[in-house]
Structures are given as C-alpha cells and as structure tokens.
Amino acid sequence: MRNIIPYLTIFIGLSISSGCAVFNPYEEDFGCPGGDYGKCEKVKDAYEDSFVDDQEKFSPMVKTSKQQVAKESDGPVYDYQKQLYAEMKGIIGEAETPMLTPPKQMRLLVLDYVDNDKILYGYRYIYFVAEQERWILPLNQIQIPRSHAEKLFR
C-alpha cells in the first residue's frame, strides 16, 4: 500500500497540471500556415475586411478588372431574367389584361342563445363566402349578346 501512494501522487499531479489538454486530440501549432495563400490576421480584422468593396484589397490573389465584372454579370441566367421581367412588365402594363378578384370570406359570430326546447347553444363562428371571385375585363373587350345581358342584369 505504501508503494502505491507515491505513484498515485505523481499521477494525480500530472493529470491536474495537464488539465483538459489531455482530451484535445488536435495539435495547437497554428502559426498561420503559408499554403493557403491567405492573410494571417486576427478574426476581428478579417471580419472588418469582409465588408470592403474592393476585391483586390480584400484578396490580393484575385485580380479582377471592371470588364471582367461586366462580362460575368451579363450571363445567360441574367439575360433570361431580364427578358422575363420585361415580358411580365409588358403583360401587366397592357390595358387589356383581365384580372381575377379574390373571393371574399366572412366570419359571423353567433352568440349564446336558448331555443324553444330550453336547450342552450354556446357561441360559435360561421364561415361563409360572401362574394365569389370574378373576372374584371376591360369594357371594350366585353361583348355580351343582348339576350344574355338581359338575363344578367335583371
């Protein structure tokens, strides 16, 4: 028993002095390795540099010119989007475009009441469609025969 006490004391002393470093499997020699072609700076400085608009100052390895930026922004996806927006603008701007109004729903609250048989009914909501959806067409496109118009406007 006396032979174990010195070994136990040494083991406890080493484990306390090493702390949590025993459980860390990674090597902590991070001296800004030179293989990634990046800058060696603090996290706060890197965060502030991320808001810089000048790409050459932010990353010296990237050499961009204004012509390259213009070429990259006029890609096929951008042209398609531009064409689609122009087409939608034309359709919306036309006076002949029919529109569909959304239906109007209403909620009606029925309060507590007692009927003739002395049954108490609690409050409840009743939902109903007050107005159906309808087409709004320009007046110059609507050509309704006279017989149909008489039926509609009675």
Dist CA 108 CA 128 (whole Å): 8
The reply to whether 23 falls in a domain is: no
The reply to whether 117 falls in a domain is: yes
The reply to whether 118 falls in a domain is: yes
Q: How many domains does the chain have?
A: 1
What does the pLDDT read at residue 105?
94
The reply to whether 109 falls in a domain is: yes
What does the pLDDT read at residue 51?
77
The reply to whether 111 falls in a domain is: yes
Ranges of residues in the chain with a pLDDT under 70 are 1-2, 21-22, 27-31, 33-38, 53-77, 94-97, 138-154
What does the pLDDT read at residue 97?
65
Nearest CA to 104 out of 136, 131, 128, 125 is that of 131
| Residue 123 belongs to domain spanning | 99-133
The reply to whether 107 falls in a domain is: yes
What does the pLDDT read at residue 96?
66
**Phi first, then psi: what are they for 69, rounded to 5°?**
-65, -40
The reply to whether 14 falls in a domain is: no
pTM for the whole structure: 0.28
Residue 152: CB atoms within 10 Å: 8
The reply to whether 116 falls in a domain is: yes
